[in-house]
Each structure stands twice: as C-alpha cells, then as structure tokens.
Structure 1
Amino acid sequence: MRDRPAGRIGSLDGLRGVAAAVVLVHHALLVVPTLSAGNNGEPIPANRAWLVDSPLHVFWAGGEAVFVFFVLSGFVLTLPALRRRQDWVAYYPSRLLRLYVPVIASVALALVWFLLVPRVPSPGASGWLLRHVEPLTAGGLVGDLTLLSPTRLNSPLWSLTWEVAFSLLLPLFVLIAKATHRVWWVTALAALLLSGLGRQFHEDWLMYLPMFLLGSALAAGWERIPEIRRGTGWVLAVLAVLGITFEWWVPRSMVGIHVPIVVVASAGLIVLLCGKWLPAERLMLGRVPRTLGRLSFSLYLVHEPITVSVGLLLPTSLPWLTPFIAIPVAIVVAGLFARLVELPAHRLAKRVAKSITVRRARVGSASTHPAAAASPLADDDRTAA
C-alpha cells in the first residue's frame, strides 16, 4: 500500500470541486422547462428523457452531489479530530465564523441580484424558475442569515442548515467514530439504514445527519481500508455511477427504502474511490478539479441567484442559453467571492481558534505553575506552544 501523508487529502478537494460543478450545472439546466419537469418526475418528451431518466443524469445530479458534500464533511471534519487532540472550545467559534461569514455575505449578494433583477413570473418559464418568484420579507431574510429556515432567495442554503447542525454535533460523531473504529463498517451500515428510514418517514434530520455519520465512519476506518486495485476500481466506479443515479433510471414502482440507501452508499463509495483508487485520485488532482475545489464553497453559495437572474432576463424561448451565460459568470463571481470573503473568513477563523487555544494554554500554565504568571516568558507565544 502506498504511503499517505497524514494531512489533507488533495483528491478529495478535487471531488468537492466536481460536486460543486455538478450542482451548478444542475441549476443551470433546471431553467429549461422540460428538464425542470423531468427533474420533478413529470412526463417529458422522449428526446429529452435520455438526459433525465438514465445514468447520464450523473452530470447534473445536484441533490446527489449534495449528499457527496455531506459525506465529505463528515470525513474531513472527523479525520483530524481522530488524529490529534481537538480543542473544542476553540473549534466552535472558529467553525461558526468559517460558515456564517460567507453565508451572510452570500445573502447580501443574493439580495443585490434580487433588487437588480426582480423576480417576476414569465409565461412559459420553467417550474423551477417560477418557484423562485416569491416576495422578499424580513422574516425570510432572518431565516436565510441564521440558516434556520432558508428561503428561495438563495435556496442552496438549505444544505448549510445541516452542515451547521453536524458541526455543532461533531464531538458526538467523533466519539462514535473512536468507539467503533475497529468495526467502522458497522457504523457505516447503521448510517445507511438510518438515512433510508429518514427518507421513508419524511424526517429530514434522520435522513441527512446519518450521511455525515457515514463520512465519520469512513474516517475511522480509513487506515484499515486497503488501496483499491485498478480492475476492481473500474467495476466499483461503474456501480457508483449507477447507484448515485439509481432513483432516475430505476422504475418508479421499485422506489422504496432501498433507493436512498443505494444512493447514499454510492456517495460514500465515490468518496472512497477518490481517496483510495489511483485513477480517480489522479483525475481529482487535475488542474480543473483542484481549481474548482478551491472555489467550491464560494461557487456553491453564489451561483443560484446568478442562474435565476440570467433565466429571468432571457426570453423564455431561449432557456438553453442559460448554462452558457450563467456558468462562466458564476465561476468568475465565485473567484472574487473566495478572494474577498471566503479566504479572509477562513483566516479570521484560524486566528480566532489559535488565539483561544493560546490563551487557554497560558491560563492552564499559570494555574499549574503560579510563578509563571509573573514571568516575562509567560506572555511569549512560543512558550504557549
């Protein structure tokens, strides 16, 4: 087995970028009325059905891409906590700053788009586009800013509600991962079953939070999971594509509790392949996936209001132009947003975490060794380390 660095796994950054791109394409295509109808399970012409009701849906399977995000978050937040001691007092303010500063900025930007391009219904527009035509209210803005009840002003924020919930519950997930690391696969199976039950009983918390648990289980078992051989990897890659799109090509009569289990398991398999199978690793370490990975959070936050605005500005007879305009504009705006908002927020979060950790170390040192409080060295950051 190849040696792996103990730090960040770059191929998973690339996967995050690809997932963000899939969500972007998903929303751009939903401006097309027939594709919007097909995405809602409505009958559509046969010449469009091949793009909806087939494994080719993988290229714009936005909802499933969010599931990959959830599994990735469970993995990347749990893994460091398993490898080194975690300062939970510093973690909470740092994590919340990391999430909420970009979210608040994205809501402000969405509000600008809303004011520049009023959301007025247009005859012949897609059902997805028309669902975004809703009044702006103070309560709605508060719901967006707090992530307690996101509106369609920037509807991808719904997933950030669960990211925040998982972030707050992370110590519990880490505890479960540590306690079950020898039988991590049992935790993974339990996560899949719970997610399926959540879908069956229409309980969002039961459906989504176990997806993060699946990522935590993969983190717990990561060192025990062997590298995937080339031949086996190709078989698993085909199964992953078929599984992640299972709900689109399987007959409607077969839809049941097993469908979300298959889809979520496939999301986990995709994460596993991109971290343990050399061809997938190399693909995700390419320039485009890695660049998208660096922009992924910003792209996810800013793209939908841009897509809606472009869709509303274009004549309803030309919906296919939306992807060609909205996608490049969203990528450019995401690049600016990352530089001006996301990266400064990340740096601020790291400074806050370091400051809290250093301050607590000093207090602990002073309480253990009272004489240190009077020593000039007690105020030196180097001694705090």
Structure 2
Amino acid sequence: MGHGTGETERMHALDGVRGIAAVVVLLYHLTLMARPRLEETAGLWEWITQSPLRPLTAGSEAVLVFFVLSGLVVSIPALSGSFDWLRYYPSRLLRLYLPVIAAVLFAVALIVFVPRLPGAITPDSWLANRVASSISVSQVIEESSLLPQTYTIVNVLWSLRWEVMFSVLLPVFVVVGLATKRHRALAAVLAIALGVVGRVLDVDALVYLPTFFLGTMIAVNLRELRAWAARVSARGRGLVWAALAGASAVLLVASWLARPFAPAGSSLSAALWGLAGAGAAGLIIVAIGSPFAERMLSARLPRWLGRISFSLYLVHVPVLASVAFVLGDENWPLVAAIAIPASFAIAWLFHVAVETPSHRLARRAGTRVASQHDRVREPIAS
C-alpha cells in the first residue's frame, strides 16, 4: 500500500483507487459485522454479496488491488538506474512497520479501555471468532512482527505480511519483470494461472505473489501501456475503457456472482476467485489509461481518501469492533452510523500523527544507511 515516486507522480488517479479500495474494505468489514442480522431477512445477504453491488463490499478483492498498486509503485523507482537499494530497504520496512506497531498499540488501548463482553455480540460470528476481545504481551509482539498468518488484534495485518514479503523480494520481481518484457502477454497469463492454481490448492503464496507481479509488469511496460492508451483515447474509443472496466470488475468478484451455480468451497468457485488478481490489474490499467477514469479518480475527495487510506485500513476494524461490543451487533445500523465517521476521523489523526512522521523518519533512516555505507567505501576505494 506504499506510495511511489517518479513516474507515479503523474498518476494521481492511483491515489483515488487506493482511497476507494480502503473504503470498500471498511464496508466489507461492516457487512461482516452485520451479517448475523442481514441473514435474518430472506435474500438480503445474497442480494448484497451476489449481485452487481458486490464490488462495493468486496474487501478481500480490494486488498488485491492494493497488491497490484504496490507492485506498480514500488517497482517503478527500482527500475531507475540510480535506484539505491541500501536506502530502499530500511526506508521501506520502516514505512510499513512503524504504522503497523502504532496501529497494534492503538487497538490494544481500545481492547483494554472499551469493555468487550461476549454477550454483546452474536456467538460464532465474525466479531466473535476473528477479533480479539482480550490480549497478551506475546500476542502483541507476534502481531507487530507481521510473522503470524492470522491476526485478531488488527486483523487486516495479514496483508501487510505479504507487503513485507514482496518488499524484501523486490529485486527478484524486477529482474523477472524485465526478463519477461518481450513476452509480457505470456507472463501475464502465467501469473494469472498461478493465482487460479493457488486458490484451488489453497496456497496463499501462489495467489498473492503473482498479484504483486502483475503490478511489477505494469511498471516494466508502463511506457508501452501509456502509448497504447493514448492511441485508444485518440480514436475516441471510450467504449474500450468501459468494457475493460466492466470486465475487470466482473473478474474481481466472479466467484461471488457465480455462487448460484458454483457454491463456496467448490473447485470452480476457487478457480473463479483466482481470477480476482487479473480483475484488480485491469482496474489499475483503466485508472492509468482512461482519461475519464483519471479525471474522476484524481478529484479532491478520492485523492484525500487515498492520502489517509493506509491509516484508515489500519484503524477501522478496532474502531468498528469497539463500537459493536458497546452497542451490540444487533444494533448494526447505529454501530455503522458511529463507527464509520469515527474511523475516518481517527484515520486522519493517525495519518497526521503517525504515518506522516513515520515516512519522514523512514526517509532519514534510508539516507543515513546509504551515506554511512558510502563513507565506509571511500577509504577502500582510495
């Protein structure tokens, strides 16, 4: 979910994509909180999740959009001949870990000070099973490290674990991206196929790492993509962008739309879910190439949402859970009315107080490591 530099400075629409994706994740967790009550009304849960409305609450799929974005914006600077890898590693890891640790501590404070009584929520619900109601020091340390596979203090941290993995392996992604540049169509098909196999076999690495790679491929082929987009737009073929956006949105949520004939847990459903990464990449291409999409996504509100998106992503579940434990999940409309604006307000404060200073500190740390290395090398070189 990190921001890039250089080429991406001209792609303000990506901030809009990032902001909208963060809101979708928030709405997704709101529906999970409300699910016990939504299922009491015949057909309502299915109407929300298996209709064209699904992209509005497709949280797991929105995370794949984040992964493609990271693959793109983190790879672009690395493709520069002047890229400093010594500066990159400390800077990138601090940019990820400092907000994560702060988010865990924020969630811990809410768990400690806001009562989380089991009787306030529906037994065996998402809140009961996936969100911590008590904590231990070891759990705080583990989740802050981003080493576990599952998280309950801040349960979105599972995705940051993959962000760290991609960030560490960035040289491999860049090398493979450059090596496959002449065969980009085949490489993209193989990456998408790996995602499908990963879903069918339930191997997360085969799902998520190829999704990052699709973003790296967009970065490697950005000049060609821009040239193609300019030709399409010059010919007045707006329908091409509309078709690509529609097809990408369908791919993103295909497993949900197919639920009536491909039930959850079936191999066909898993295979369709594996196509979500391709849908995410398609939406990013539309955001970069379509003049209309670029104008919409570069508007003030989407870009503001993009600015606070990482902070919103980190703080919204602890806020939502705390309000739900106080009011009871049966009162989910009231929970939403309080938790949604509170999440945005706290995300903005978190962005100002934690995320922005973390970025400054990360840049300074990267510069210091690189300069110390240069000072060590100078006597050797002389």
Q: Give me the whole-angstrom Cα distance separating, in 2, the residues matched to 1:301 and 1:317.
A: 25
**2:126 is matched with which residue?**
128
**1:139 is matched with which residue?**
138
Shift of 1:317: 3.5
Q: Map of 1:289-368 to 2, 5 A cutoff?
A: 289-368=302-381
Shift of 1:125: 2.6
**1:379 is matched with which residue?**
none
Residue deviations 1:307-363 (CA, integer Å, cap 9, x gap): 001111114432122222111101111111111111111011111112223333344
**1:32 is matched with which residue?**
34
Q: 1:251 to 1:108 in 2, by over 3 A?
A: closer
Shift of 1:7: 4.4
Contact 2:50/2:259 (8 A) holds in 1:
no
Shift of 1:196: 1.3
Q: Give me the whole-angstrom Cα distance separating, in 1, the residues matched to 2:324 and 2:104.
A: 19
Q: Which amino acid aligns with 1:28?
A: L
Contact 2:36/2:122 (8 A) holds in 1:
no
Q: Map of 1:13-52 to 2, 5 A cutoff?
A: 13-34=15-36, 45-52=42-49
Q: Give me the whole-angstrom Cα distance separating, in 2, the residues matched to 1:201 and 1:264.
A: 16
Contact 2:241/2:290 (8 A) holds in 1:
yes
Q: Which amino acid aligns with 1:270?
A: L
**2:76 is matched with which residue?**
79
Shift of 1:87: 1.6
Q: 1:173 to 1:31 in 2, by over 3 A?
A: same
Among 238, 244, 258, the alignment partner of 1:250 is 258
Higher Cα radius of gyration = 1
Identity fraction in percent? 37
Equivalences, count: 360
User: What is the DSSP-based 3-state SS (H/G/I as helix, E as strand, rest coil) of the residue aligned with 1:32?
Assistant: helix
Shift of 1:365: 4.3
TM-score (norm 1): 0.88
Q: Which amino acid aligns with 2:351?
A: A
Shift of 1:35: 6.8
Q: Map of 1:1-385 to 2, 5 A cutoff?
A: 6-8=7-9, 9-34=11-36, 45-122=42-119, 125=122, 127-131=125-129, 132-149=131-148, 150-225=150-225, 226-227=228-229, 228-229=232-233, 230-251=238-259, 253-254=261-262, 255-256=268-269, 258-368=271-381, 370=382
Q: 1:124 to 1:355 in 2, by over 3 A?
A: closer
Contact 1:140/1:151 (8 A) holds in 2:
no
Q: 1:139 to 1:88 in 2, by over 3 A?
A: same
User: What is the DSSP-based 3-state SS (H/G/I as helix, E as strand, rest coil) of the residue aligned with 1:337?
Assistant: helix
Shift of 1:44: 6.4
Q: 1:300 to 1:367 in 2, by over 3 A?
A: same
Q: Give me the whole-angstrom Cα distance separating, in 2, the residues matched to 1:251 and 1:153.
A: 31
Q: Give me the whole-angstrom Cα distance separating, in 1, the residues matched to 2:195 and 2:329.
A: 38
Q: Give me the whole-angstrom Cα distance separating, in 2, the residues matched to 1:104 and 1:203.
A: 27
Residue deviations 1:186-205 (CA, integer Å, cap 9, x gap): 22222111111111111112
Q: Which amino acid aligns with 1:331?
A: F
Between 221-230 and 106-115, report the one with greater CA deviation. 221-230
Contact 1:26/1:62 (8 A) holds in 2:
yes
Shift of 1:133: 4.8
Between 260-269 and 151-160, report the one with greater CA deviation. 260-269
Contact 2:26/2:313 (8 A) holds in 1:
yes
User: What is the DSSP-based 3-state SS (H/G/I as helix, E as strand, rest coil) of the residue aligned with 1:122?
Assistant: helix
Shift of 1:94: 1.1
Q: Which amino acid aligns with 2:26?
A: L
Q: 1:36 to 1:354 in 2, by over 3 A?
A: farther
Contact 2:254/2:276 (8 A) holds in 1:
yes
Shift of 1:45: 1.6
Structure 2 portions without partners, runs of 5+: 1-5, 263-267
Q: 1:98 to 1:133 in 2, by over 3 A?
A: closer
Contact 1:36/1:128 (8 A) holds in 2:
no
Q: Give me the whole-angstrom Cα distance separating, in 1, the residues matched to 2:156 and 2:37.
A: 19
Contact 1:55/1:248 (8 A) holds in 2:
no
Q: Give me the whole-angstrom Cα distance separating, in 1, the residues matched to 2:352 and 2:253.
A: 34
Structure 1 portions without partners, runs of 5+: 38-42, 371-385
TM-score (norm 2): 0.89
Contact 1:173/1:216 (8 A) holds in 2:
yes
Q: Give me the whole-angstrom Cα distance separating, in 1, the residues matched to 2:78 and 2:136.
A: 40
Q: 1:36 to 1:196 in 2, by over 3 A?
A: farther
